[in-house]
């Protein structure tokens, strides 16, 4: 019996084979970070303008930070955003 390529493999295997796994994971992580930051800003009643002031940056930088597809945001920027909201950044490796 001849097996067809891709049958029985996982989506992660497919992405790995196509060289897209790292990028897909980076986008997924950024979406979670952006969601959590925006959710915290909403709960704390912090506007984008206020967040920019607290971080000593521009509102367009906040838009990039909250853009779930922008994976070029640095860990330092994320840490700065979290600190601006009076929170601590916690990262887990699983």
At 16-47, the pLDDT tens digits run: 777 778 888 888 999 999 999 999 999 999 99
d(CA 78, CA 87): 11
Question: What is the model's pLDDT at position 7?
Answer: 64
Q: pLDDT at position 3, please?
A: 54
> Rounded to two decimals, what is the model's pTM?
0.77
Judge whether residue 1 has pLDDT over 60.
no
Q: In this structure, is the dihedral angle defined by the CA atoms of residues 33, 90, 85 and 77, taken in order, positive or negative?
A: negative
What six digits make up the tokens of 77?
Answer: 């920027």
By percentage, how much of the chain surpasses pLDDT 90?
Answer: 63
Question: Which domains are assigned to the chain?
Answer: 11-84 (1.10.260)
Q: How confident is the model at residue 6 (pLDDT cuts 50, 70, 90)?
A: low
């Amino acid at each position: 019996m001849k097996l067809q390529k891709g049958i029985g493999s996982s989506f992660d295997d497919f992405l790995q084979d196509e060289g897209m796994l790292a990028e897909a994971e980076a986008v997924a992580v950024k979406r979670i970070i952006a969601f959590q930051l925006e959710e915290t800003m909403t709960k704390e009643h912090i506007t984008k303008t206020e967040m920019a002031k607290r971080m000593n940056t521009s509102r367009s930088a906040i838009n990039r930070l909250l853009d779930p597809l922008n994976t070029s945001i640095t860990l330092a920027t994320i840490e700065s955003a979290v600190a601006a909201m009076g929170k601590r950044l916690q990262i887990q490796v699983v």
